[in-house]
Structure 1
Amino acid sequence: MAVTGTKEFEIKADPETVMAALAAVERLPEWSSAHKTVAVETTYPDGRPHRVRMTLSILGINDEQVVDYSFDGDDSIEWSLVESSQQNAQDGKYVLTPSDKGTKVEFELTVDPKIPLPGFLVKKAQKTALETASKGLTKFVESL
């Protein structure tokens, strides 16, 4: 059962700074407690990550994932799951818009676990990911 969630929040930094933090995927473990290891396997000519392998643990479920990232300048970053031990699919997207406070961030995440899990558990894991994305990313960017 695929589940989609969204979160909007503000970061007191310009979109270029926020995008630089998001594109530094190897630093994900610094602000996302779910991410244990991250390794960039391939990059685009501009040096931004393309294919990334990572290990995660969320609500006691461990996963190794490979995801492909794509970018639309400093406006958005998206990723899609290529392989996973625990998920059929995962798609995520951050959209950045300049605001009076710095940057408005819209985050969307869709997950589809391989194993049947109670809906409340899938939603709890997703909520944890959305909260980490907003609070962890905001703290990380604003401390740079």
Structure 2
Amino acid sequence: MADRTQRSIVIAAPARQVMSVIADLASYPEWVSAAKSVEVLETGPDGRARTARFVLDAGVVKDTYVLSYTWQPDDMAVSWTLESGELQKAQEGRYELVEQPGGGTEVRYELTVDLTIPMIGMFKRKAEKVITDTALKELKKRVEG
């Protein structure tokens, strides 16, 4: 597995509100520019997605893949792993929420992606940085409205 990319952003909202946006996978196409469709395939007893199929179109990168989710009981983190993908052979990710003094929430995003096609490490790290930065900015915009 490749190096992990880590980014964070502070969102002016309580952690519970941030996690509710993260957990609403079906609405991702409304606010995640690269997500063309998201279908929750299986839910757990808590109503949260256990598996979901994504159709991604980020210009030169197009992929259809299935992720498996693990939600922390305290609602402060979620992690996922790739079950299957066309372009990806592995993906591990995690959102961790840290409440800030004054009511905001720091969102920490970790992502590791391994592709079926060879890619120079420098370009791969740049792509992961763009993906994580964009995801955090779009999440902030959606939560803060």
TM-score past 0.5 threshold: yes
Q: Which residue does 1:89 correspond to in 2? A: 90
CA shift, 1:85, in A, is: 0.5
Tell me which stretches of 4 or more aligned residues in structure 1 moved more than 4 Å.
Answer: none
Unaligned segments of structure 2, at least 5 residues: none
CA shift, 1:58, in A, is: 2.6
Q: Matched residues in 2 for 1:57 and 1:117: separation?
A: 18
TM-score (norm 1): 0.93
Whether the aligned pair in 2 keeps the contact of 1:2 and 1:113 (CA below 8 Å) is no
Q: Matched residues in 1 for 2:31 and 2:6: separation?
A: 19
Q: Which residue does 2:112 correspond to in 1? A: 110
TM-score (norm 2): 0.93
Q: Quick one: which amino acid aligns to residue 87 of structure 1?
A: Q
Q: Quick one: which amino acid aligns to residue 107 of structure 1?
A: Y
Q: Which residue does 1:71 correspond to in 2? A: 71
Q: Matched residues in 2 for 1:3 and 1:90: separation?
A: 11
CA shift, 1:53, in A, is: 0.4
1:66-101 CA distances to partner (integer Å, 9 max, x unpaired)? Answer: 000110031101110000011110001000011024
**1:1-144 to 2 correspondence within 5 Å?**
2-73=2-73, 74-100=75-101, 101-143=103-145
CA RMSD in angstroms, aligned pairs only: 1.3
Q: Matched residues in 1 for 2:142 and 2:94: separation?
A: 18
Q: Matched residues in 2 for 1:54 and 1:78: separation?
A: 16
- Secondary structure (helix, strand or coil) at the match of 2:134 reads helix
- Secondary structure (helix, strand or coil) at the match of 1:8 reads strand
Q: Matched residues in 2 for 1:31 and 1:131: separation?
A: 14
How many equivalent residue pairs?
A: 143
Identity of aligned residues (%): 38
CA shift, 1:13, in A, is: 0.6
Q: Matched residues in 1 for 2:122 and 2:8: separation?
A: 22
CA shift, 1:31, in A, is: 2.3
- Secondary structure (helix, strand or coil) at the match of 2:45 reads coil
Which of 121-130 and 7-16 deviates more?
121-130
CA shift, 1:57, in A, is: 2.0
- Secondary structure (helix, strand or coil) at the match of 1:45 reads coil
